[in-house]
Amino acid sequence: MIHVIARMEIKPGCMEEFLKVLLANTPTVLAEDGCYRYEACTDTKEEDKDKYVTILETWESEEHLKAHLATPHMAKFRDDVKDLRFSSNVTVVAPVK
């Protein structure tokens, strides 16, 4: 099992549209083989809540994550949000055994 922390900085005035695109894609991602969690979160600090989105993901394996990233719906997602965010940072971690 692996976990993904995908944090994005959203451009001013673009949060509503970004979340609309993200939340429309979420059920498709959750239906993917090997996906256990795909949860969009915003910061709790008032000054950052409209600035950052973090997606918390859990996948059965790195192979499942790679397959997810190669899907047509994720290519469309990346294209749909490219002008809505400044940056994204992805961290992949695994539980200590």
Q: Are 64 and 33 in contact (CB under 8 A)?
A: yes
For the chain, give the percent of residues with pLDDT over 90: 95
> For residue 71, which phi and psi values (nearest 5 degrees)?
-70, 150
pTM of the full structure: 0.93
Going 15 to 50 to 30 to 72, the CA torsion angle's sign is positive
Q: Examine the pLDDT at 49 and tell me if it is beyond 90.
A: no
pLDDT in tens, 16-39: 999 999 999 999 999 999 999 999
**In order of start, what are the domains of the chain with their CATH numbers?**
2-89 (3.30.70.100)
DSSP codes joined into one string, 63-87: HHHHHHHTSHHHHHHHHHHTTTEEE
Question: Where do runs of H (alpha helix) occur along the chain?
Answer: 15-30, 62-69, 72-81
